Amino acid sequence: MSKLPSLKNLSYLLALHQHQNFNRAAQACNVSQSTLSSGIQNLEEQLGCQLIERDHKSFLFTGMGEEVVEQARQILTSTEELLYFAQSQGKIMEGPLRLGCIPTIAPFLLGDLTKKLKAEHPKLQLSIREDTTVNLLHLLRNGELDVLVLALPVDLQGNQSYVLGRDPFKLVMHSSLAEKLAEPVQYNQLPDNSIFLLEKEHCLTGHAVSACELADSSKINPFTATSLHSLVQMADAGLGATFIPQMAIDRGILSGTDLVALQPSGQQASREIGLIYRPTTNRRTTFRKLAECIAQLLPEPLLK
Amino acid sequence: MSKLPSLKNLSYLLALHQHQNFNRAAQACNVSQSTLSSGIQNLEEQLGCQLIERDHKSFLFTGMGEEVVEQARQILTSTEELLYFAQSQGKIMEGPLRLGCIPTIAPFLLGDLTKKLKAEHPKLQLSIREDTTVNLLHLLRNGELDVLVLALPVDLQGNQSYVLGRDPFKLVMHSSLAEKLAEPVQYNQLPDNSIFLLEKEHCLTGHAVSACELADSSKINPFTATSLHSLVQMADAGLGATFIPQMAIDRGILSGTDLVALQPSGQQASREIGLIYRPTTNRRTTFRKLAECIAQLLPEPLLK
DNA sequence: TAACATAATCGGAAATACTAATTGAACAAA
DNA sequence: TTTGTTCAATTAGTATTTCCGATTATGTTA
């Protein structure tokens, strides 16, 4: 069996892939440019194939190079996890944990979650990143985040998940508009263009539309908002109705408004909340514990 | 960030774990005993924790040590896969592939499979190991096998799987016994102790009993056979009836006998065949291709 | 053309990995 | 008790590898 590539050389390759420049990559690795350069050559020799095409002056990763980067990333992440695991003496709820969360969940979950974690697992150092689903999945894959809280269903791209619970949608509108409506609200009771939603980047939009069977409805106003809070403002100004998740209502997003929350029609007018992690992780027990913590904070926990 | 442990030292640890003796482990690694010894110490220092308890003379892996071994195994397997992948230029259907299969599938699948693979992927070097489900799962975990063909359902122990297809059970008995029976055969038509099964080590037994709703039936003879072929012999000698999977019948296990195959009662009198692989693998595309090949050879393919 | 930027190459220095030999401790046999 | 054996740790010296600084080759920009 030929000799295994060294983790060091693999990390050089990753740095090069990230910076696309030998000097900057070398700096990032705290080695000289010559070291990194020969490290890469070394790696190519050991693997017996070309990883980057040298085009004088510049270079380009080959298809194989990209593939190797992908796999090397996984190996290095696992090794870092091993190191971390050993150094923290196997205390699974201690040390750093980098969590990503979408904007339609974060403000209504993370406050309580950090409070709970601080009480139950004071040595856990939670860092939080709020971003869209696609960006978070990318960061997870790159090893820059450990775990994500997303709304399901979503293309997991090979990641694994715990389903944490269900979060019902409510149809929110000004109390004066709600008076003449019967629950569950049939959308044909509403005027055209009277339902406001978030920008399509937010998965909440898609989930609400499909869960509430609203596809292509003329009821939807083409103007889109950028946050739940602005949706609430618009509804409170009497512009129309909107969908707000129960989590947000429970955390008081409607307080101080004249809005009421009604049950929308649609079989299962809700979204699921899931915890997503790399299939290659070896911190499953940590994530499982975290999943249990989060599930307890959801309107309808259903963690198996 | 502290320095990552080297793959070399991790492999020393694995060897030590396997051989439970510094000298033999060192030999296996082609290094001197002193090298391995200091490698382990080095590792303990880097990880900042004790991996083995030295009890003068002898030693014992600590709980943490066992955990680290587990994770190290995964890292080394991934790295080997990376090396192999690169060296074979990404040709996913070339080079060595170590497959495990249970005894109630192997004789009726692997002949056709090797023939098919030789024709379609001549450079694939398939090695085959036939063993029980639990042993195969152990070998898979240890990285000694790449992929398993098992009968489902089975506790996957965190592994991943493709469902390849369905394999119906048939109730097989001597033609003279079958004459007075109506299909699907109700078991109360049969005398007590007239159904013969395999030893309980074979998952086929459990699958047949549950699929055919036979639990605790007095119809089952307490004598158990060790192979499908001996079951067939016993049935042909007129001792009673038995369950034989369709795969085996299709490959002619009944030829030269006076046995007939009848449809048993029971909602879904069949087992599923699945391809099992480590969740941490990066040879999924290879396994997927293999899964497609195998599925085509099954009585009822249902690979999604 | 001159000045600059980038990656490869080269020679020597520093760090490391490795071995053989030795030590010390436990144990078994004489 | 003595002797011999086994096993892991230690030591000291050697070999190997890794790394850096300087230099080169090549192309780009001013």
Kindly state whether residues A170 and A280 are assigned to the same domain: yes
Task: Supply the pLDDT for residue A193.
Answer: 82
C-alpha B301/C-alpha B276 separation (Å) is 16
At A161, which CATH number?
3.40.190.290
For residue A177, the Cα-to-chain-centroid distance in whole angstroms is 35
The token duo for B124 is 């694939």
| Model confidence pLDDT, tens digit, residues B109-153 | 999 999 999 999 999 999 999 998 998 998 898 888 999 999 988
Distance A39 CA to C9 C1' (A): 13
| Model confidence pLDDT, tens digit, residues A218-229 | 788 888 888 888
Whether A1 is in a domain gets the answer no
Task: Please name the amino acid found at residue B249.
Answer: I
DSSP state of B1: -
Kindly state whether residues B34 and B98 are assigned to the same domain: no
The token duo for B149 is 């063909």
Kindly state whether residues A162 and A301 are assigned to the same domain: yes
Nearest to B75 among A2, A67, A75 (CB): A75
Nucleotides of C under 7 A from a protein CB: 5-11, 17-21, 25-27
| Model confidence pLDDT, tens digit, residues A54-99 | 876 678 788 888 899 999 999 999 999 999 999 887 788 998 899 9
Kindly state whether residues B190 and B298 are assigned to the same domain: yes
Write the DSSP string, B36-67: HHHHHHHHHHHHTS--EEEETTEEEE-HHHHH
Distance B190 CA to D22 C1' (A): 92
Kindly state whether residues A265 and A173 are assigned to the same domain: yes
Nearest CA of chain B to the CA of A55: how many Å? 21
Helix (H) or strand (E) holding B275: strand B270-277
Nearest to B82 among A75, A83, A85 (CB): A75
Last residue of a domain, one of B53, B87, B121: B87
Nearest CA of chain A to the CA of B168: how many Å? 31
Whether A11 is in a domain gets the answer yes
Whether B1 is in a domain gets the answer no
Instruction: State the pairing for strand pair A58-61/A52-55.
Output: antiparallel
Kindly state whether residues A56 and A197 are assigned to the same domain: no
Whether A23 is in a domain gets the answer yes
| pTM of the entire predicted model | 0.74
Assign A168 a pLDDT band (cuts: 50, 70, 90).
very high
Whether A198 is in a domain gets the answer yes
Question: CB A74 to CB B282 under 8 A?
Answer: yes
Number of domains comprising chain A: 2
Question: CB B64 to CB A279 under 8 A?
Answer: no
Whether B2 is in a domain gets the answer no
For residue A126, the enclosing domain spans 89-304
A2 touches chain B (CB under 8 A): yes
Chain A, residues 51-90, CB within 8 A of chain B, namely: 63-64, 67-68, 70-72, 74-76, 78-83, 85-87, 89-90
Task: Supply the pLDDT for residue A57.
Answer: 65
From residues 30-49 of A, which are strand C contacts by CB within 7 A?
A: 33-34, 37-38, 40-41
Last residue of a domain, one of B68, B87, B106: B87
Last residue of a domain, one of A61, A87, A113: A87
The token duo for B241 is 């009836």
- Chain A residues whose CB is inside 8 A of the B11 CB are 4
Q: For residue A86, what is the nearest residue in chain B, using CA coordinates?
A: B47
| Model confidence pLDDT, tens digit, residues A94-148 | 988 999 999 899 999 999 999 999 999 999 999 999 998 998 998 888 888 999 9
Nearest CA of chain B to the CA of A298: how many Å? 27
The tally of CA atoms less than 13 A away on the side-chain side of residue B160 is: 15
Task: Supply the pLDDT for residue A301.
Answer: 94
Kindly state whether residues B214 and B256 are assigned to the same domain: yes
| Model confidence pLDDT, tens digit, residues A9-46 | 999 999 999 888 888 899 889 998 889 999 998 999 88
Report the phi/psi class of residue B83: left, alpha or beta, with left for phi > 0 and alpha for psi in -120 to 50. alpha
Kindly state whether residues A135 and A45 are assigned to the same domain: no
C-alpha A193/C-alpha A242 separation (Å) is 11
Contacts of B114 (CB under 8 A, 6+ apart): B126, B128
Kindly state whether residues A64 and A125 are assigned to the same domain: no
Task: Give strand letter and number of the nucleotide nearest A54 (CA to C1').
Answer: C7
In SS3 terms, chain A reads as: CCCCCCHHHHHHHHHHHHHCCHHHHHHHHCCCHHHHHHHHHHHHHHHCCCCEEEECCEEEECHHHHHHHHHHHHHHHHHHHHHHHHHCCCCCCCEEEEEEECCCCHHHHHHHHHHHHHHHCCCEEEEEEECCHHHHHHHHHCCCCCEEEEEECCCCCCCEEEEEEEEEEEEEEEHHHHCCCCCCECHHHCCCCCEEEECCCCHHHHHHHHHCCCCCCCCEEEEEECCHHHHHHHHHCCCCEEEEEHHHHHCCCCCCCCEEEECECCCCCEEEEEEEECCCCCCHHHHHHHHHHHHCCCCEECCC
Kindly state whether residues A197 and A252 are assigned to the same domain: yes
Residue B180 or A239, more confident: A239
Task: Supply the pLDDT for residue A11.
Answer: 94
Q: Which long-range contacts (CB under 8 A, 24 or more apart) does B112-118 make?
A: B112/B251, B112/B297, B113/B293, B113/B294, B113/B297, B116/B293, B116/B296, B116/B297, B117/B293
A46 touches chain B (CB under 8 A): yes
C-alpha A158/C-alpha B277 separation (Å) is 14
Kindly state whether residues B248 and B166 are assigned to the same domain: yes
Kindly state whether residues A216 and A116 are assigned to the same domain: yes
Q: Give percent of chain A with pLDDT exceeding 90.
A: 42
Nearest CA of chain B to the CA of A281: how many Å? 8
Whether A2 is in a domain gets the answer no
A4 touches chain B (CB under 8 A): yes
Whether A271 is in a domain gets the answer yes
At A67, which CATH number?
1.10.10.10
Instruction: Please give the angle made by the CA atoms of A35, A38 and A42, to the nearest 5 degrees.
Output: 130
| Model confidence pLDDT, tens digit, residues B162-193 | 999 999 999 999 888 878 777 777 877 788 88
B33 touches strand C (CB under 7 A): yes
Distance A33 CA to D26 C1' (A): 17
For residue A281, the Cα-to-chain-centroid distance in whole angstroms is 16
Helix (H) or strand (E) holding B95: strand B95-101
